[in-house]
């Protein structure tokens, strides 16, 4: 194949280099398109065909259902690694040695505490506030308590900032939950592991002895690994775009949390369980909901189905489906919603509408079932996703800054009114 792409406009030919990624993906480098053509741009709403950056963090092949972090398959990481190790891998590029892992863990534990004044901010929210809004606000507030920007060029500085946010974030996550439940805010116990500590901070009650369930720890650890990064998705792109104006790490992460909140992205896990519950309440007739999803005049979509990139299967969904069955078995839970999910998936997978559009269950189709089994309330589902995605956002922010990417500033095709004379108020 030639390594140039040719564009012809009004009989004039322009050549653009074709670049090849390490997995042989091909892209046309149009960096100088406007300058050589005198202002022509490309139009690609939703960036369906646009590579917004070069990245060495996560590889995803939507056709083949492949997901790898730094070259390691998601299947192997989910089976053999743990969340903190995966966080280190994503952010620093390699799996940590024993010593590196110990240092990383120690520094994170040191930061597993937040300024007491954060409690006052939390106090200002009504109990009815959605935990994602609260989490985004608290993460942004961390900027006020840590006003010095991290020097991304300094490995030491960056290591400290990474450990700071990885340490403090679970406290914020647990506190958004406690706020929602009206329970006292509590800290963890640094003799516990990272995920154990999160569970303790979330579920310990002042009037009961807390007992850690290893099934819950293992399942949550796996879920966090599966969510840890997913290349240039909506929230990650948001973190990179916001950070490209040299906004600090914590404020960029806060923007990522807001982007994740929406039901077409991370908010889908909440929407899925609400949809499955609604089907259950409605007598379990999922055919009716499949018909609604296919009806062009009905805005209803089958939540947890379809993906911008995966057009064959979502490898995370396969792992999660298995994990969901395991957790329900281990915890001895018989959840009728899982039966509805199984039936709905089976039906949709053999339906021509879904087959022809390559719509498969995605990661969110099953994750809500696990969260529910673990006792996590529905509005907290997307918060758990954010907890998992944190290392990916940090890794992508760091990479963007180290590569000295230019400020993100797309162009547009203007379709508004041409120049017109101002109309005085009396004449409007
Ligand atoms: N139910 C019914 N029809 C659908 C669905 C769905 N869930 N998803 C896509 N379609 C149809 C859509 O109507 C369109 O049909 P047509 O070609 O006849 O107009 C076709 O499939 C292509 O859809 P699209 O909206 O152009 O595809 P997209 O790549 O822009 O959207 C998506 C991807 C994930 C936003 C979409 O599939 C969706 O809304 N799914 C439901 C929400 C969801 O589960 N989101 C979680 C995604 S995975 C986790 C994450 O990324 O955070």
In this predicted structure, what is the pLDDT of residue 207? Answer: 95
Query: Would the pLDDT of 1 be above 80?
Result: no
Where is 134: in which H helix or E strand?
helix 131-145
Ligand 1 pocket, residue 381 CB under 6 Å: no
H or E element, residue 28: strand 26-28
**306 CB near ligand 1 (under 6 Å):** yes
Comparing CA positions, the residue from 93, 230, 86 lying closest to residue 239 is 230
Q: How far is the CA of 304 from the centre of ligand 1 (A)?
A: 9
What is the model's pLDDT at position 333? 86
Helices 268-281 and 286-294: crossing angle in degrees, nearest 10, is: 130
Whole-angstrom Cα Rg for the chain: 23
Residues forming a β-bridge with 73: 68
Note the pLDDT of residue 321.
86
Cβ(301) – ligand 1 distance below 6 Å: yes
Mean pLDDT over 308-327 rounds to 87
Containing H/E element for 261?
A: helix 249-261
Q: In angstroms, what CA-CA distances link 391 with 87, 121, 261?
A: 5, 25, 17
What is the rounded CA–CA span in Å between residue 289 and residue 278?
10
pLDDT at 118: 96
Q: Name which residue sits closest to atom 16 of ligand 1, judged by CA.
A: 357
Residue with tokens 């300024």: 115
Q: By CB neighbour count within 10 A (0-12 exposed, 13-18 middle, 19+ buried), where does 192 fall?
A: middle
Q: What is the residue with the minimal CA distance to atom 51 of ligand 1? A: 265
Does the Cβ of 357 fall within 6 Å of ligand 1? yes
pLDDT at 406 over 90: yes
Closest ligand 1 atom to 265 CA:
52
- Given the residues 221, 229, 314, 364, the one annotated as active site: 364
Task: Determine whether the shortest distance from the Cβ of 259 to ligand 1 is under 6 A.
Answer: no
Tens-digit pLDDT profile for residues 219-252: 999 999 999 999 999 999 999 999 999 999 999 9
- Residue 290 Cβ inside 6 Å of ligand 1? The answer reads no
Regarding the beta carbon of 307 and ligand 1, being less than 6 Å apart is answered yes
DSSP state, residue 287: H
Q: What is the pLDDT of residue 45?
A: 96
Cβ of 81 closer than 6 Å to ligand 1, yes or no, is no
CA distance 402 to 398: 6
Looking from the CA of residue 314, the nearest atom of ligand 1 is 48
- Measured distance CA(106)–CA(101) in Å, rounded: 8
Helix boundaries (H) for 295-380: 315-330, 336-349, 352-356, 363-373
Whether the pLDDT of residue 58 is over 80: the answer is yes
Instruction: Give the model confidence (pLDDT) of 73-109 as tens digits.
Output: 999 999 999 999 999 999 999 999 999 999 999 999 9
Ligand 1 center to residue 308 CA distance, Å? 7
Annotated catalytic residue within 285, 307, 314, 339: 307
The two tokens of residue 370 are 């696990």
Closest protein CA for atom 26 of ligand 1: 308
CA 214 to chain centre: 25
Asked if 44 contacts 27 with a C-beta cutoff of 8 angstroms, the reply is no
Does residue 359 have its Cβ closer than 6 Å to ligand 1?
yes
| pLDDT, tens digit, 9 for 90 and up, residues 342-360 | 889 899 999 999 999 999 9
Q: Tell me which residue has its CA closest to atom 22 in ligand 1.
A: 357
Element (H, E) at 428: none
- Residue 266, pLDDT > 80, answer yes
Q: Quick check: 2 pLDDT over 80? A: no
Return d(Cα 180, Cα 294) in angstroms, integer: 36
Closest by Cα among 273, 369, 279 to 325: 369
For atom 28 of ligand 1, which residue has the closest CA? Answer: 308
Distance of CA 107 to the CA centre of its chain: 24
Task: For residue 318, report the distance from its CA to the centre of ligand 1, in Å.
Answer: 19
CA of 235 to the centre of ligand 1 (A): 17
CA of 198 to the centre of ligand 1 (A): 32
Distance 208 CA to ligand 1 centre (A): 44
Q: Is a pLDDT exceeding 90 seen at residue 148?
A: no
Ligand 1 pocket mutation, candidates 60, 306, 366, criterion most atoms within 8 A of CB: 306
**Other CB atoms within 10 A of residue 184 CB:** 9
pLDDT at 313: 85
* Residue 390 Cα to ligand 1 middle (Å): 24
Tell me if 240 sits within 8 A of 52, measured CB to CB: yes
Single pTM value for the model: 0.92
- Burial of 408 from C-beta contacts in 10 A (0-12 / 13-18 / 19+): middle
State mean pLDDT over 352-379.
Answer: 89
Q: Report the alpha-carbon distance of residue 63 to residue 78 in Å, rounded.
A: 21
Ligand 1 mean position, distance from CA 133 (Å): 24
User: What confidence tens digit (pLDDT) does each residue in 185-226 have?
Assistant: 999 999 999 999 999 999 999 999 999 989 889 999 999 999
- Please confirm, yes or no, whether 227 is among the known catalytic residues: no
Average pLDDT on 255-276 reads 93
Each residue of 33-54: b (16+ CB within 10 Å) or e? beeeeeeeeeeeeeeeeebbbe
What tokens appear for 292 in the block?
A: 């609604």
Average pLDDT score, the chain: 94
Distances (CA, A) of 296 to 96, 301, 305, 392: 50, 10, 16, 36
What pLDDT was estimated at residue 113?
A: 95
pLDDT average, residue stretch 111-121 = 95
Residue 327 confidence (pLDDT): 86
Report whether residue 308 contacts ligand 1, using a CB cutoff of 6 Å. yes
Report the pLDDT value the prediction gives residue 326, as an integer from 0 to 100. Answer: 84
H/E stretch holding 58 reads: strand 58-61
Does the CB atom of residue 168 touch ligand 1 within 6 A? no
| pLDDT exceeds cutoff 90 at 375 | no
| pLDDT exceeds cutoff 80 at 10 | yes
């Amino acid at each position: 194949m030639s390594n140039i792409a040719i564009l012809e406009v009004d009989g004039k030919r322009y050549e653009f280099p074709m670049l090849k990624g390490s997995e042989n993906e091909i892209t046309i480098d149009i960096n100088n398109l406007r300058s050589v053509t005198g202002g022509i741009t490309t139009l690609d709403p939703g960036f369906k065909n646009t590579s917004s950056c070069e990245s060495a963090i996560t590889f995803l092949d939507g056709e083949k259902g492949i997901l790898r972090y730094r070259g390691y398959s998601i299947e192997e990481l989910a089976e053999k690694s743990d969340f903190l190790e995966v966080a280190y891998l994503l952010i620093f590029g390699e799996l940590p040695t024993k010593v590196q892992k110990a240092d990383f863990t120690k520094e994170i534990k040191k930061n597993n505490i937040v300024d007491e004044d954060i409690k006052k901010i939390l106090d200002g929210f009504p109990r009815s506030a959605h935990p994602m809004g609260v989490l985004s606000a608290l993460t942004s507030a961390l900027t006020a308590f840590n006003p010095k920007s991290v020097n991304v060029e300094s490995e030491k500085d960056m290591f400290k900032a990474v450990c700071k946010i990885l340490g403090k974030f679970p406290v914020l996550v647990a506190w958004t939950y406690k706020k929602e439940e009206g329970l006292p805010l509590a800290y963890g116990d640094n003799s516990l592991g990272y995920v154990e500590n999160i569970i303790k901070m979330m579920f310990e009650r002042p009037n009961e002895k807390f007992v850690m369930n290893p099934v819950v720890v293992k399942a949550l650890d796996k879920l966090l690994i599966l969510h840890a990064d997913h290349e240039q998705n909506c929230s990650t792109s948001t973190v990179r775009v916001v950070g490209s104006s040299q906004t600090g790490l914590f404020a960029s992460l806060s923007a990522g949390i807001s982007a994740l909140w929406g039901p077409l992205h991370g908010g889908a896990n909440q929407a899925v369980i609400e949809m499955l519950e609604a089907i259950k309440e409605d007598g379990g007739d999922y055919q009716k909901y499949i018909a609604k999803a296919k009806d062009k005049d009905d805005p209803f979509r089958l939540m947890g189905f379809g993906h911008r990139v995966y057009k064959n299967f979502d490898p995370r969904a396969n792992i999660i489906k298995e994990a969901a069955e395991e957790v329900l078995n281990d915890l001895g839970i018989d959840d009728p919603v899982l039966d509805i999910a199984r039936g709905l998936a089976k039906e949709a997978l053999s339906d021509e509408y879904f087959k022809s559009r390559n719509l498969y269950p995605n990661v969110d189709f099953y994750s809500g079932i696990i969260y529910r089994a673990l006792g996590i309330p529905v509005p907290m589902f997307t918060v758990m996703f954010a907890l998992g995605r944190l290392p990916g956002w940090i890794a992508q922010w760091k990479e963007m800054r180290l590569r000295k990417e230019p400020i993100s500033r797309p162009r547009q095709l203007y379709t508004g009114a041409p120049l017109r004379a101002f109309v005085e108020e009396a004449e409007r």
